[in-house]
Amino acid sequence: MYRIICNSLKNYSSSFSNDENDIRYRQMSFLRLIEDTDVYLDHKERNSENYRKLSQFLLSISDCKRCANILFELRMLGIEPMDCGEPTDFTGTHAVWHMMLKLGYWKD
């Protein structure tokens, strides 16, 4: 599942520019941290905004049964959900995440 999500993230991200003014970029940029644990750990150490967003997002999907497998795999990689006390609207991110779980952006 982890490989599928990482592949889907790359495919989805390639469909728009890496311009911070693009709403799709802003909604998804923090998820790219899961692709590389060294980058994730660096952001975690610095307590970056992307790290806090990712932690909050993972916490927001922790009750979703469809997400149990990927959350387990992320925990095995040291990527944990955490409450950072920063309420964020992840509506758009949730929609894309669930499309990735349904293999909507998968390309082999």
For CA atoms 68, 72, 73, 74, the dihedral sign is positive
Residues 6+ apart with CB under 8 A from 66: 98, 101
What local confidence, expressed as pLDDT, does residue 23 receive?
Answer: 73
Confidence band (pLDDT; 50, 70, 90) for 9? confident
Report how far residue 45's alpha carbon sits from residue 57's, in angstroms, rounded to the nearest whole number.
Answer: 18
pTM strictly above 0.75: yes
Q: What phi and psi, each to the nearest 5 degrees, are found at residue 59?
A: -65, -40
Distance CA 101, CA 46 (A): 30
Residue for token pair 């889907």: 8
Which residues lie closer than 8 Å to 13 by C-beta, 6 or more apart?
Answer: 25, 28, 32
Check pLDDT > 60 for residue 108. no
